[in-house]
Amino acid sequence: MIMSWPDVRARRMARHGLGSAGCDGVVAAARAICGAHAQIMSAAELSLGIRCPGTSRSDVRAALWTDQTLVKTYGPRGTVHLLPAEDLPWWLAALSAVPHQVAVPDTMAMSKDQTEAVITAIGDAVADAGDRGLTIAELSEQVPARVGSWAGDLVMPAFQQMWPRWRQSLGAAAHRGAVIFGPDRGRQVTYRSPADLLSVRPAPSESKALAWLLRGYLHSYGPARPRDFAKWLAGPVHWAERLFGKLASEFTEVEFADAGAYVVRRDTKMSADRADSVRLLPYFDSFVVGSHPRELLFPGKAAERALSPSGQAGNYPTLLINGEVAGVWHARRSGSTIAITVEPLRGLTTSQRAALDEEADRIGFISEAKPSLTIGTVSVGGHA
């Protein structure tokens, strides 16, 4: 079977809640996109809000901190994500099984036993803190006190400062189920124990969890290749190729972009939604981060304007027209107003211009601010 690019982009738009139907709530949206990137929380709120008509940032925050139906933790690529809380055991089992080969200088290195001790100490410290959680500063006191002063050595260069040695294991501790993010304490990030979320949900095996995650990825981002899945997880390509091989009976190979790619078995249905669509996606939106090939998603000038020099997607908020990146945008909030500047890379039709006004209004509603829209050059550089 051959899948054309127009078919694939319409299929992905529908499955990401970016078509006419949207998603039924923020939890469904987080599941549909395999997690919302949340290094910038306002961007995560927009990522979920734009997929759920009538949803504002307050709804996302309530799901996180009141209802606890969403959880904030380290997800794919070791980056912060919002995930459905009931899926957390599956995510942790799968992410813990992804091999990561990161070269660490000898001055930063920890032995396997030291890493295990730090992970245990992080988990014990946040468990002892209860609902209040612990800030980074408090963890930086607690962890060395529990395992030894070596864990507090300032050996990690980060953001023009030095971090203590133990912090390199924070992502691994999250993937092992020792810690998740808690509500901010003023301007300080906190961490807490996920024990209450994990105790009522059985932990799957790593093999079942990896199969579950791969099926979810292919449902949302397929057709895709092993190298696309590997890039999404920051794992080795040869490992992803072996995983695809082990699970070959679960997938169907199709022809896409002049090469073989995979979808979940018998999941070849296309979207009937071909209406002209205009969407404003925030920083690091999952649709652009996880979708390949880049040369189709970012055609022509879009690759130069909306990708980083290394080809990384998500560093710029993007204008999406009919499932392709067609510009960039930026929002600046001031009190109760939000000024939105959109830089299209091609001319807009009358209907697309009207749809852009609607998108700006949607961004304002989600952000709980009064929006204004300007068509012009975006002078702000990409996010690191």
Q: Which of 169, 203, 237 is the last residue of a domain?
A: 203
Intervals of the chain under pLDDT 50: none
348 lies in a domain? yes
Predicted local distance difference test score (pLDDT) of residue 106: 82
Average model confidence (pLDDT) across the chain: 95
Q: Which of 157, 178, 203 is the last residue of a domain?
A: 203
3-state secondary structure of 160: coil
7 lies in a domain? no
* CB contact at 8 A, 175 and 109: no
Q: Which amino acid is at 213?
A: L
Beta strand pairing call for 2-3 and 251-256: parallel
Instruction: Say how far apart CA 349 and CA 300 lie, in whole Å.
Output: 19
User: Cα–Cα–Cα angle for 317, 284, 192, nearest 5°?
Assistant: 135
Q: Which of 187, 203, 219 is the last residue of a domain?
A: 203
- Structural domains counted in the chain: 2
132 lies in a domain? yes
φ/ψ of residue 344, rounded to 5: -70, 150
249 lies in a domain? no
Which residue range(s) make up the domain with 178? 102-203
- Spell 337-375 as b/e; 16+ CB within 10 A means b: ebbbbbbbbeebeeebeebbeebbebbbbbbebebebee
360 lies in a domain? yes
In 3-state terms, the chain is what percent helix, strand and coil (to 5)? 45, 20, 35
Instruction: Say how far apart CA 16 and CA 173 lie, in whole Å.
Output: 29
3-state secondary structure of 196: helix
Q: What is the pLDDT of residues 103-138, one digit of tens each?
A: 788 888 899 999 999 999 999 999 999 999 999 999
* Structure-token pair, residue 180: 């998740």
* CB contact at 8 A, 190 and 184: yes
* CB contact at 8 A, 344 and 354: no
Q: What is the pLDDT of residues 324-376, one digit of tens each?
A: 999 999 999 999 999 999 999 999 999 999 999 999 999 999 999 999 999 99
84 lies in a domain? no
119 lies in a domain? yes
234 lies in a domain? no
CATH code where residue 132 lies:
3.30.63
Taking each continuous run of H as one helix and of E as one strand, the counts in the chain are 16, 16
Sheet holding 70-74, edge to edge: 36-37, 80-84, 70-74
